[in-house]
């Protein structure tokens, strides 16, 4: 998990920096990609308390109390960010379909004002969707005795607190919990995944198979490839979570009927979700040549120390879309800005 958190932090920060380049100005899809990057950061980095808790061999009483009593809120925040990230992926995919199918009306449909309204609506809806989780959970603590060391005649014990989180036992809260998980399945997994799958097929058919990609600018083709890579990655890594949520929604989170297979599946799905949030930058690098060139040029110009820049220069074809006030050695002019319009 710490390695994935580092990958998530570095990858999503680099994404946010690259999205600010003049090359992407005017693209409404990039605004949603920015929000998705922020949501991914919150989703993964909110698990820092779990990492600290797992690494502590001897639990600190004050940290244990803080960790367990904030756990419902941390889970809710992570769930909100995960849902927002999913919906941003869906919006980007739908926007790309509109761009491919209605290229001449796309600018009138996907304006900045409409994008802002959609963004705020989804964030508020995500908060409303996950608020019930906080009020349906309770943290219970109990005192237990642990043997410190054992000798032939003398035994030494110490008293410690044991915590666990569970849903309130009243039928009302169990009903709220099942409703919450069914809404999760419908609004965060099933509908978005089906819609993204259909949209991806339409994009591939129109953009690749019918050779409509020739009518788009380099920037638009770059954004479309980023969208398709994001969508396919989401479908592959987030799709299996449907099985876990369905089991919990049917039997309840505290049900004793859940076997080891469901437990293993839940942990596996959590890992896949973290990987999906941590690796968008690396997915773009692998499947988008234009993004790869821009990232390399950006890193060389902005992140590599200038003493290393004196030994090497960035090839001109990799500077497309990169703007900087830094002057390379033996080049008296600053890097040219490249604006490519649809």
**pLDDT score of 38:** 93
**pLDDT score of 319:** 47
Q: How many domains does the chain have?
A: 2
**pLDDT score of 112:** 78
Q: Is residue 153 part of a domain?
A: no
Contact between 322 and 300 (Cβ < 8 Å) = no
Whether 123 and 79 map to the same domain: the answer is yes
Q: Is residue 162 part of a domain?
A: no
- Domain containing 200: what range? 2-138+170-286
3-state secondary structure (DSSP) of residue 182: helix
Whether 269 and 128 map to the same domain: the answer is yes
**pLDDT score of 166:** 79
Whether 190 and 120 map to the same domain: the answer is yes
Whether 84 and 51 map to the same domain: the answer is yes
> Is the sign of the CA dihedral 62, 65, 68, 69 positive or negative?
negative
Whether 303 and 276 map to the same domain: the answer is no
3-state secondary structure (DSSP) of residue 241: helix
3-state secondary structure (DSSP) of residue 131: helix
Whether 292 and 278 map to the same domain: the answer is no
Q: Is residue 22 part of a domain?
A: yes
Of 260, 286, 312, the one marking the end of a domain is 286
Of 286, 305, 332, the one marking the end of a domain is 286
Of 250, 266, 286, the one marking the end of a domain is 286
Tens of pLDDT along the chain (342 residues) come to 778 888 888 888 988 888 888 777 767 778 888 899 999 999 888 888 888 877 776 667 788 888 888 888 998 999 899 899 889 888 888 888 887 777 677 777 777 788 888 889 988 998 998 988 888 888 888 777 766 665 555 667 667 777 778 778 778 887 888 888 888 888 888 888 888 888 888 887 776 655 555 556 676 777 777 777 888 888 888 777 777 777 766 666 655 555 677 777 777 877 888 888 888 888 888 877 788 888 887 777 766 655 545 444 445 554 455 444 333 333 333 333 333 333
Whether 212 and 321 map to the same domain: the answer is no
Whether 281 and 304 map to the same domain: the answer is no
Whether 322 and 207 map to the same domain: the answer is no
Residue the block writes with tokens 């809710």:
76
Phi, psi for residue 310 in degrees, rounded to 5: -70, -20
Q: Number of C-alpha atoms within 13 angstroms, CB side, residue 325?
A: 0
Tokens representing residue 255 in the block: 């049900």
Contact between 111 and 168 (Cβ < 8 Å) = no
**pLDDT score of 149:** 62
**pLDDT score of 252:** 61
Q: Is residue 165 part of a domain?
A: no
Q: Is residue 144 part of a domain?
A: no
Q: Number of C-alpha atoms within 13 angstroms, CB side, residue 128?
A: 7
Q: Is residue 265 part of a domain?
A: yes
Predicted structure pTM score: 0.76
Q: What is the CATH number of the domain that holds 127?
A: 1.20.1070.10
Phi, psi for residue 63 in degrees, rounded to 5: -70, -35
Whether 131 and 236 map to the same domain: the answer is yes
Whether 63 and 93 map to the same domain: the answer is yes
Whether 342 and 239 map to the same domain: the answer is no
3-state secondary structure (DSSP) of residue 222: helix
């Amino acid at each position: 998990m710490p390695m994935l958190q580092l990958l998530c932090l570095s990858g999503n920060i680099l994404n946010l920096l690259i999205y600010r380049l003049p090359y992407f100005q005017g693209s409404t899809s990039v605004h949603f990609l920015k929000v998705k990057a922020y949501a991914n950061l919150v989703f993964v980095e909110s698990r820092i308390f779990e990492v600290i808790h797992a690494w502590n061999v001897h639990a600190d009483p004050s940290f244990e109390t803080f960790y367990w009593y904030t756990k419902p809120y941390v889970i809710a925040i992570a769930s909100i960010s995960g849902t927002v990230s999913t919906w941003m992926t869906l919006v980007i995919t739908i926007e790309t379909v509109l761009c491919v199918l209605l290229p001449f009306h796309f600018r009138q449909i996907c304006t900045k004002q409409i994008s802002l309204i959609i963004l705020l609506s989804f964030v508020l809806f995500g908060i409303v969707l996950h608020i019930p989780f906080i009020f349906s959970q309770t943290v219970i603590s109990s005192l237990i005795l642990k043997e410190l060391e054992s000798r032939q005649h003398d035994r030494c014990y110490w008293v410690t607190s044991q915590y666990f989180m569970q849903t309130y036992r009243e039928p009302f809260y169990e009903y709220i919990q099942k409703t919450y998980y069914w809404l999760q399945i419908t609004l965060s997994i099933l509908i978005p995944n089906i819609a993204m799958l259909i949209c991806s097929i339409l994009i591939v058919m129109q953009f690749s198979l019918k050779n409509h990609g020739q009518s788009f600018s380099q920037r638009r083709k770059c954004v479309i490839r980023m969208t398709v890579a994001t969508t396919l990655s989401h479908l592959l890594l987030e799709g299996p979570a449907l099985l876990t949520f369905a089991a919990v929604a049917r039997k309840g989170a505290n049900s004793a009927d859940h076997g080891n297979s469901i437990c293993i599946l839940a942990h596996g799905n959590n890992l896949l979700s973290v990987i999906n949030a941590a690796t968008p930058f690396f997915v773009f690098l692998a499947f988008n040549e234009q993004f790869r060139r821009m990232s390399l040029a950006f890193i060389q110009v902005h992140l590599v120390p200038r003493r290393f820049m004196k030994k090497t220069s960035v090839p001109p074809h990799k500077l497309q879309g990169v703007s900087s006030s830094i002057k390379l050695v033996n080049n008296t002019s600053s890097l040219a800005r490249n604006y490519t319009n649809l």
